[in-house]
Amino acid sequence: MHAVVLVGGFGTRLRPLTYSIPKPLLPVAHTSMLERLMNSLARGGVTHAVLALGFKPEPFMAAFPKDMCGSVQLSYAVEDTPLDTAGAIGFAARTAGISETFVVANGDVLTDLDIASLISFHRQHGAEGTISLTPVSDPSQYGIVETDENGRVLRFVEKPQPGMTTSNFASAGTYVLEPSALVRMPGDQKLSIERVVFPQMVADQSLFAMWSNDYWIDAGRPDTFIEANVHVSKRSAQATDAPIHPTATVSASAVIIDSVIGENATVLDGAQIRHSVLLPGAQIGQGAVVIDSLVMGKVGANSQVTNSIIGSTGVVGDNEVCNNASVPAHDPAQVPEKSPEKSPE
Ligand code: GDD
Ligand code: MG
C-alpha cells in the first residue's frame, strides 16, 4: 500500500522553531512526528510513502539518508510553489506513479488509529474517499464532518465559524482514496482538498467517514505540541520516550513538571520547567522559570518565560521577563516578509 504524506507546509503556528526545523521533523518525546506517523502507517500495511514536500525539503532527505523510515520506503515530490493540500496530493501521487487505492496523511498528526480498519471500511462502502474522524472540543480549528447513519459524508466544513455546524467530529487528517479521485486533483496548481475536493465528493455522494475514539492529536500548534510531548512521554512504557533524554544535563536542584527535556539540553541549578518542551540543545540558566513554553535557544539566569516560543537562535537575557513572545520574531535567514497573504501552515 502506498501513502502520500503531506509535509510541505511552513509550520507557521510553530514559528520560530520551524525557521530551523520543518514541523514534521520536530520531536515528540525525542522522536520526530514524521517517524511516529510513519510507524503507525507501517502497522496499517503501508510499504511506500511519498513525502509531499515544498518548504525546506533538504532536512527531510538528510533525516532519511537511505530513503527508509523504519520499514517504509520513501520517495519525494518537491513542489516549486506551494500547491496546497489537494494540489500536493495530485502532484505527489503522480510523481510516485500511484495507481491503486492509497492512503493520505497530514504530517503533523499523532494517532493510534488502525489504518487497516480505515482501509477495510473504505472498501466495504465502495467509497471514492474515506476520511478518518475524531471527536474534538474546538471545531473551529479543524475540518468538521457531518455524516448519515451509514457513514456517508453529508457535509465537510473547513474551520467552521461558530454556529455553522453542530457536529464535533473532525477530519483526523488521514484519508483513503481511490486513484480515480486523482482526476479531481491535477497537481499542477494550488487546490485545497478540504475546501474544494471534499465538497465536490460530498455532492457526488462518494465520500465516507469512519469515526474512532483512538488517541489522536494534531501536534501542529504550540499548545498541542506541548500536550503531545507530555502525553506521549507520560503514557509510554518505552525508555526512549522518557521525559528527560539521557544526554540532557539537568541539575538535581531543578524542578521539572509535566515537561520533556530533549537531547543535550541543559537545565542549571534551581531552574523550573513546567508544562514545557525543551528541544535538543536548549539551555536554561540558573533559577530561570519556564512555563507553557517551547525552547530551542537560550534562557538566561533568573528569567521568567511564559507562554512563549524561543527558536534556535533565540536568546532571553538574564533577569528578563518574557510573556506570550516569539524570539526571534522573524526568520534571521530571510528578509522580512512583505506580503501578509495567507501562506500554507
Ligand atoms: N506539500 C504540501 N504543500 N503540504 C502542505 C501544503 C502545501 O502547499 N500546505 C499544507 N501542507 C501540509 C502541512 O505540512 C501539514 O502536514 C498538512 O498539509 C496539513 O496542514 P496543516 O497546516 O497542519 O492544517 P491544519 O492542521 O490547520 O488542518 C488540517 O488538519 C486537520 C487535522 O489535523 C485539515 O486537513 C483539517 O481539515 C483537519 O481537521
Ligand atoms: Mg495540522
Instruction: Tell me the C-alpha distance between 217 and 235, whole Å.
Output: 14
Q: What is the pLDDT of residue 342?
A: 46
Q: Identify the CA nearest to 144 among candidates 163, 165, 130, 129.
A: 165
**pLDDT band of 65, cuts 50, 70, 90:** confident
Q: Is the CB of 218 under 6 A from ligand 1?
A: yes
| C-alpha 8 – ligand 1 centre gap (Å) | 8
Q: What is the pLDDT of residue 332?
A: 77
Instruction: Please pick, among 159, 190, 234, 338, the residue that the annotation labels catalytic.
Output: 159
Is the per-residue pLDDT at 314 higher than 80?
Answer: yes
Instruction: Tell me the C-alpha distance between 33 and 169, whole Å.
Output: 23
- Could you report the per-residue pLDDT of 212-253, keeping only the tens digit for each? 999 999 999 999 999 999 999 998 888 899 999 999 999 999
Instruction: Tell me the C-alpha distance between 18 and 325, whole Å.
Output: 15
- Could you report the per-residue pLDDT of 171-221, keeping only the tens digit for each? 999 999 999 999 999 999 999 999 999 999 999 999 999 999 999 999 999
Which of 33, 80, 85 best tests ligand 1's pocket when mutated (most atoms within 8 Å of CB)?
A: 85
Q: Is the CB of 134 under 6 A from ligand 1?
A: no
CA–CA distance from 40 to each of 34, 36, 151 (Å)?
10, 6, 24
| C-alpha 310 – ligand 1 centre gap (Å) | 23
Instruction: Tell me the C-alpha distance between 158 and 163, whole Å.
Output: 13
Ligand nearest to the CA of 219: 2
Is the per-residue pLDDT at 345 higher than 70?
Answer: no
pTM above 0.75, yes or no: yes
What value does the mean pLDDT take over residues 64-75? 93
Which grid coordinates are listed for 276? 514545557
Instruction: Answer yes or no: 159 catalytic.
Output: yes
Q: Is 120 helix (H, G, I), strand (E, B) or coil?
A: helix
Tell me which residues have their CB within 5 A of the ion that is ligand 2.
108, 218, 220
Instruction: Tell me the C-alpha distance between 19 and 11, whole Å.
Output: 9
Torsion from C-alpha of 51, 141, 165, 147, nearest 10 degrees: 30
| C-alpha 286 – ligand 2 centre gap (Å) | 35
> What whole-number percentage of the chain has pLDDT above 90?
91
Q: For atom 22 of ligand 1, which residue has the closest CA? A: 345
As a whole number, the mean pLDDT across the chain is 94
Q: Is the CB of 217 under 6 A from ligand 1?
A: no
Q: Is 151 helix (H, G, I), strand (E, B) or coil?
A: coil
| C-alpha 109 – ligand 2 centre gap (Å) | 7
Measured from the Cα of 92, ligand 1's closest atom is 1
- Could you report the per-residue pLDDT of 272-312, keeping only the tens digit for each? 999 999 999 999 999 999 999 999 999 999 999 999 999 99
Q: What is the pLDDT of residue 180?
A: 97
Q: What is the pLDDT of residue 143?
A: 98
Q: What is the pLDDT of residue 129?
A: 98
Q: What is the pLDDT of residue 172?
A: 97
